Structure 1
């Protein structure tokens, strides 16, 4: 990977972190309504995964979707404007935090209903297989989604039809406020793929380079006709499940322990140790990321609200 690509990925991770931190502030000020699920701590998963895709490859995810949107090429301005419910947002201010999408960038959205997007991912992959496209669908979901019917139906059919899907479980150890081992009979989520005869792997989701390497290998195998596979990325969210989470189910000491292995810090040390970047160069990227987010906030706050007639648009797809 070229130095410029490393710098791009580092910059994206920092933009995601700073954007999420700013979103938390705006939510507390009452400028963002509804639910808000922050991606802080999990940035290496989507950044590493999506950096391994080709333009034709599709990405679909759950409601913790702001970082995924950035990685798929949406601007910080579009994302922040959507969070504030403005007309300049990626979903015209009508989707909000959990429903960001841009099909022109092959980002098929964040989805609020737990696991409901997994059958949609199978459908996207079926469409590509039907017309002979060489695209791979990357479907991201949380560990909690693996305990419901959508997960099993989607994995089963993807294997029956040999669909080009990479199922990616972002295992941040908690489904809302319940630890994985309390809710799942099989706590090693990747093993669930074995019930469908599907290859699976586990990866350190805090290490961008490890995620990228393993994802690249699996995506290429799927593209060559190996059929669906599952990747479990072990990660950790530093904030609550959503902004209303009192976090009584875990101790501050546990959070601090994972923060000491911050994914941005891991990648930063890698870049310096491998002599890809210097402290000064990375500091400059940090500063630029902060400027990008501040510009996004100013843009969003100055943007107009959706017009009343927008309530009646995008209800049906035009033939």
Structure 2
């Protein structure tokens, strides 16, 4: 047996021929106690799809001849690949770029910090997690001009199936070229079949000349004027335990910050006792406290200097903790 055509979400499994036989295939993530079984395969190759990226899998095959079946084969293994995304960027931001992206009230303001036509925020946890099969999510993108207001198109995609491709069906905001400063979609949805976990959102703002209303449909374009921003967003299954999800969906903003840090706590944790600790890269604590939440926001007022920090939060009611 062998595995070929391995990518982030699919693989082709192959095995040797037994004349007149059909086959049963079973596979699972390494460490899982449950096999996924595919019965009555009439070829000696099978394409598995819908796999998780960067994950170790094991599989076994058995043959069936009439009512008789063999034992399953010895186990073979494969590992899915890292999800990779196409490049996109603007080559010139001297006249215009993205100044702010907001999802469900959480803002990433980059007006004073943008330095190139591509900004990578994938290593940061900025926005609140969103539930499978949920709707009424709001996204807005604000344009910034250094002088003249030019016609800019804005498009946003989320890679819901985590296959490394921003498809047309995954576009959550499409605004034709205009001089409208802030464009939005007040009601985008998370599909019921989206994969859970972290995935990538791509935001593109691109300059177009006349006429207005031109649409940016290419998520993999390098263009002259404007900017591209990539983010990580998290999708979770709300049918799981609320306590399991709450700490993971904490958001920290604004990003970048100046003097103050706001920590947005999910509504399911309101009235809980929360402790937090902010350390710099030298592991020195610059802020810590124990608070009882009356609303869902903690504001740290400490004249915090710009830099890289680690935020540790613990829910005293559940003894769960997370570091961001």
TM-score > 0.5, shorter chain as reference: no
Select the structure of larger CA radius of gyration.
Answer: 2
Q: TM-score, normalised by structure 2?
A: 0.25
Bigger proportion of residues as helix = 1
Bigger proportion of residues as strand = 2
Higher relative contact order (CA 8 A, sep 6+): 1
